[in-house]
Amino acid sequence: MDRVDKMSSAKRRKKKSRKKLDWRKLARFLKNMLLIIMGVLAVYYFTQSPFFALKDIESTGNTKVTEEEIIQKSGLSAGMNYFGLDTQLVEKRVLAIPLVEKVTVKKHLPDSVVINIKERKPLALFCAQEGLFVIDGKGYCLEKCTTAPSYDLPIITGLKPDSLDPGEQVIKSDDLEVVLAALEQDVLQQFSEINIAQTDNLIAYTRQGIPVFLGTTNKLSEKLDVAISYLDLLADEEEVEYIDIRSIQAPAVK
């Protein structure tokens, strides 16, 4: 009987001990949770403090696009929370400006943002029924040219555009891509027009009005270099009817 009583007493002590341990675990858990919640709230209120309110918005790399236009398009404004800024969204917004080719947005603690842009550079004029349109080296339309003399650039003729909206490619054309890639500085200075209506019979016109037959776009840069060499040699000639560079190995002049 004494043995049974001792066993019962031991079981009761174990139960009490377990209850004490359970309460201690619960108290420790609640304490840890309270510390975590307090920490999260502290971080939240710290990051939302006026100390991290946006004060300085700067743009770099822009020469034609104004800083006011960039900031307006970005959607940024003074007072916005630094940590709430989505740089990818800002970049996407600024890229909607037709003259902008590339955008990088960088945040600087505690309250400034720098928007660095790379502008599209006018390379040629695209001739359409609606008028002349300024395009860059990738064929993107920048703006409508109201007066041709305002841009001293060669005119691309012979193609029907898919789009003339600023910021859009005027047409997806392999020939146009090759022609634009060949427009180096010396080419820009010598030629006023390149007609690519016929893919196997491109014709460039010098600033003196001399037609230069180029054939296909194959080795176009080399053909234009040869044409420029001939133009230098023929600078003193009074009348030149045409220059034929369809074959680099056998150019002809008349």
Q: Does 52 score more than 90 pLDDT?
A: no
Tell me the per-residue pLDDT of 78-132, one tens digit each, with 9 for 90 and over: 988 888 889 999 999 999 999 999 999 999 988 999 999 999 999 999 999 999 9
Token pair for 200: 């196997």
Q: Does 43 score more than 70 pLDDT?
A: no
Q: Are 85 and 54 in contact (CB under 8 A)?
A: yes
Q: How confident is the model at residue 4 (pLDDT cuts 50, 70, 90)?
A: very low
Rounded mean pLDDT, 156-162: 95
Total residues found in the chain within this entry: 254
* Of 186 and 26, the one with more pLDDT: 186
Token pair for 237: 């000639």
Q: How confident is the model at residue 76 (pLDDT cuts 50, 70, 90)?
A: very high
Q: What whole-number distance in Å separates Cα of residue 73 and Cα of residue 114?
A: 14
Please give the torsion angle defined by the CA atoms of residues 22, 26, 31 and 36, in that order, rounded to the nearest 10 degrees: 130
Provide the mean pLDDT of the chain: 85
Please give the torsion angle defined by the CA atoms of residues 141, 143, 149 and 155, in that order, rounded to the nearest 10 degrees: 20
Output the pLDDT for position 230: 87
Instruction: Tell the residue number behind the tokens 């970005």, with chain if given.
Output: 74
Instruction: For the chain, give the percent of residues with pLDDT over 70.
Output: 81
Please confirm whether the linkage preceding 154 is cis (ω < 30° from 0): no
* Of 151 and 142, the one with more pLDDT: 142
